[in-house]
Amino acid sequence: MIDYSLVIVAPIDIASVIDLQQTTVALWHRQEIANPYCGFLHVVCEQHQFNYRLWHEEDVARSPDVGDPRIAAVKRAIDGYNQKRNDCIEQLDDYLVDDLRRRDVVAAVDARQNTETPGSAIDRLSIMALRLYHMQEQATRVDAPPDQRAKVNARLTILREQHGDLANSLAELLSDIYAGRKRLKVYRQFKMYNDPTLNPYLYQSPHRRAG
């Protein structure tokens, strides 16, 4: 059982984040992607949609029936979505840093830092929501043999436990951060592969030099 009550003063409770991720995964499989949320949840949803898009582009990339031109287009799309996904992780942490400042929350002198930021944990919850949805699809496949469905259901049990563990850990981390027991620092990833000034294959490209 997940104890969401650990989060008292954070800008959003973990239950709302999890509900958003699980609800939108199911919804986006039936209709167009949309983001009707505001504030912190708007950024959560924005980040989540890039994981959703990545998941399905990667499915295309693994298909043996897809030709090289399509694979190339998919690879470029994956790079773009991954960049935006990482940008949104930083935006989630930036939002929390700003909120801490507004609340005058100052970390204690001896406050420790976590190896993972709240934004990174929310990203992992997003991916787990996708994995749970698609694993559940496999568990209810009528064309799958019983032993396969049993194996999938066993995996679902493990995934749900892992999801609960991660949600609890995030709740504890946010509680510690807002109580000043832990320090939040945004770590910039500075992805280089999409930057035409930092990726040698881009800035040394004959096409780019000719332009």
- pLDDT per position as a tens digit, 44-89: 999 999 999 998 877 666 666 766 676 667 777 778 888 899 999 9
pLDDT for residue 13: 84
| Residue 15 contacts residue 36 (beta carbons within 8 Å) | no
Radius of gyration of the chain (CA): 20
* pLDDT range class, residue 6, cuts 50, 70, 90: very low
37, 33, 36: which is closest to 56 by C-alpha? 33
User: Does the predicted model carry a pTM greater than 0.75?
Assistant: yes
135, 124, 138: which is closest to 166 by C-alpha? 124
pLDDT for residue 23: 97
Instruction: Tell me which of 140 and 204 has the higher pLDDT.
Output: 140
Classify residue 34 by burial, with Cβ atoms within 10 Å: 0-12, 13-18, 19+: exposed
